[in-house]
Structure 1
């Protein structure tokens, strides 16, 4: 018998299919930031609509430039001390070959970096929903730049960068439960504890001005999230990305049902805002877990997230922190749930052979998930609060009381979302238009 011959593992070669797939996923993730802007924009009052849209859109400009200059290098460069990366060849994205592959994969470095850029853009935009109606736009823009540099880039390295402490510990985060959602939710809590409540919080009605806009934003987020989640496997060769795609849909649908069921039992109605919020809660919760669990596990995670996030949004009234659009209740709580439930529902047949408690794996993975959750939560909460405090004591974080009451759109952007002057009027219109009943007029809340 001839001696056995051991062949060296073949080096990956550029895959046009995977490259095209990842470019499409990158575009889908980019769409999530405008989708988030619409989602948040519909949830605020008329006088704050444009400001809410701009707080998301400005992240597309600021974080993109910082990512090119140094962000990608900090997040994915050579590890230093398990806390930060650096690669001088990537500063300004210089010295990257057109067909140079991301290590171990079949896609170019350029494709990987632009996919990760869209995550970096979205994450600070998520924070903005907690700060509606009251933050100076200049202060917000500066906060985004500082937060991305000091918080997001290092945390992304911890979780996904080779050598990062969470990565090396074995914390599972398929697409951003810790690095994106817990990170943003904890930051939101840190900032609102510093800047305080909106004028009229718990006294004045602050209802969403456009629920159709909220539903449109939620739909765009749901659509874009398939790229966010399925694309995070960086290829399409072994079925794991397909599993994540399926679980994304399944968990989100289950979370909508869970949220609405809780809402009906607790408040007596199925609301469109609840359906949209439930969808986002499910998307958040399945983000870290979807590559490790089965579709039945995804249903369980979705229902749990839908119910518990619906319960969590009411905590702001109990504890007195003004989380305007429920970033803490949905993103922080949903991210924690999704990350920790991996320790129970991981099957060992998805992205890795790691099994959770319900599949014979014990609690070892659960404790690893706890370490990742607590590490990111504590760091982001404290550093974000310190950044907000420094900005508040220097340039000031909040607009004046008069500007907040009159409307931040006009004060900060010299515009209004809706121009009612062209809607008609005059004597003929006045004569044929029935007056608004007093009881109905009280429902109008600008």
Structure 2
């Protein structure tokens, strides 16, 4: 029942991401973008049920009858869907739905499933080596953030004015994400016990610390702090917590999250002025930077505590390098496949329309 509750409270979180992201786009693109993100998530659900869980964990959800396997697959689907929601936010409003219908399955097979198998499945070789990723700092957030960076390279900054989104929508969506994230971080614990409550408390500490780091740096630069800064701090803290919240104490979690808040805020500012990249939803700056900061924080903590720190650092950095390689190469291949397929479909459509004329 515990895992089922985690699965259910994560669903509203996943579908709150489009609400948050579309508000960062020009008004004329918001409704089509919301439709496109919803379609992409539906495609992703189909991918996970048909082949994703099988590739990552060896279980076909359409054929298995064991309760534990079915529930475990559904919980893992939520982790996967959140990665899809984050990376799709970068291109939504720029790419058509038919592009994403091809991109999502290819990216799933080339990037997400291999890494999830290596790090999270019982037979995963990175897991056997001792690599750790509590609830997706590497598998979910680093890969999604790096994918966003690759996708952002192909986009041109919009000249349309971005009308400020209704702050109430942003606030409500972020709070839904915060609530759902408790299920995100509690799911790996497996049951309601003292460890689960400790993870919950440390997640909240990460949020508070990241808000402090983000807002302090913002205030030093601009002499003011907005509601958007507070909401971004919440997201930064949540992302940062995923790599290490189950492995470190509250004090370590707070220190890592404060640092992450400052780093993510700096990354957002730099990306907003970047000429070669356009990531309207700051997916790379928050997800990749926040996830990587959490991983580095875990490595440093293990070394300070002398818990086989040097060997662990090597294994964990290997996992990070593999995630970077998979995300970059897999995304480029998925882009190329989607582009070729979309171009071919467009030519067929034009040819058919000429025949009808």
TM-score scaled to structure 1, two decimals?
0.73
Partners of 1:59 and 1:122 within 8 A in 2: no
Q: 2:264 matched to 1:264? A: no
State the alpha-carbon separation in 2 of the partners of residues 393 and 357 from structure 1.
47
Aligned mates of 1:96, 1:340 — CA distance in 2: 40
Give 2:157's match in structure 1, choosing from 198, 218, 238. 198
Structure-1 residue corresponding to 2:288:
332
State which drifts further: 136-145 or 279-288.
136-145
Whole-angstrom CA distance in 2 between matches of 1:41 and 1:31: 16
2:246 is matched with which residue: 288, 291, 294?
A: 291
Q: Does 1:359 align with 2:305?
A: yes
Alignment length (residue pairs): 343
Q: 1:334: how far off? A: 0.5
C-alpha deviation, 1:73, in angstroms: 1.3
> How far off its partner does 1:319 sit?
5.3
Identify the range of structure 1 (145-154 vs 369-378) with the bigger mean alpha-carbon deviation: 145-154
Q: Paired residue for 2:62?
A: 93
Query: Which of these two proteins has the greater Rg computed from alpha carbons?
Result: 1
Checking the alignment, whether the CA contact within 8 Å between 1:232 and 1:241 is kept in structure 2 is no
Match of 1:42 among 23, 31, 46: 23
State the 1:283 CA deviation. Answer: 0.5
SS at match of 2:243: helix
Contact 1:124 1:147 in 2 (8 A): no
Which residue of 318, 323, 326 maps to 1:376?
323
Query: Does 1:387 find its partner at 2:334?
Result: yes
**Uncovered stretches (5+) of structure 2, i.e. residues with no partner:** 347-357
Q: Which whole-Å deviations, capped at 9, do the CAs of 1:343-394 have from their partners, x for residues lacking one?
A: 122xxxxxxxxxx122233433223221111111121112102211332244
Please give the alpha-carbon distance, in whole angstroms, between the structure 2 residues aligned to 1:120 and 1:258: 28
Cα shift readout 1:134-172 (whole Å, capped 9, x = no counterpart): 111221232112212222122211110122232122111
**What residue is the counterpart of 1:52 in the other structure?**
33
| Cα separation, 2, equivalents of 1:188 and 1:41 | 16
Which of residues 96, 99, 123 in structure 2 aligns to 1:139? 99
Provide closer, same or farther for how the CA distance between residues 196 and 41 of structure 1 changes in structure 2, counting only shifts above 3 A.
Answer: closer
In structure 2, distance between residues paired with 1:220 and 1:301: 24
1:129 and 1:67 mapped to 2: Cα distance? 19
Runs of at least 5 residues in structure 1 that lack an aligned partner in the other structure: 1-19, 78-89, 99-107, 346-355, 400-446
Task: Assess if the C-alpha contact under 8 Å between 1:143 and 1:388 holds in 2.
Answer: yes
Give yes or no for the alignment of 1:109 onto 2:64: no
State the Cα deviation string for residues 51-76 of structure 1 (Å, max 9, x = none): 33234322442222222222211111
Distance, in Å, in 2 between the alignment partners of 1:360 and 1:155 is 27
Return the alpha-carbon distance in structure 2 between the equivalents of residues 25 and 259 of structure 1: 28
After TM superposition, give the deviation of residue 207 of structure 1 in Å.
5.1
CA 1:240–1:55 in structure 2 vs 1: closer, same or farther (change >3 Å)? farther
Higher helix fraction: Structure 1 or Structure 2?
2
Root-mean-square deviation over aligned CA pairs:
2.0
- TM-score, normalised to structure 2, is 0.90
Per-residue CA deviations over 1:191-225 (Å, capped at 9, x if unaligned) read 222x321343xxx6435433322222111111100
Separation in structure 2 between the aligned mates of residue 264 and residue 225 of structure 1, nearest angstrom: 27
Partner Cα distance (1:260, 1:187) in 2: 27
2-structure distance, mates of 1:163, 1:59? 30
Relative to structure 1, is the Cα distance of residues 57 and 184 closer, same or farther in structure 2, using a 3 angstrom cutoff? same
Q: Distance in 1 between matches of 2:131 and 2:18?
A: 31
The counterpart of 1:279, out of the listed 234, 237, 255, is 234
Shift of 1:227: 0.1
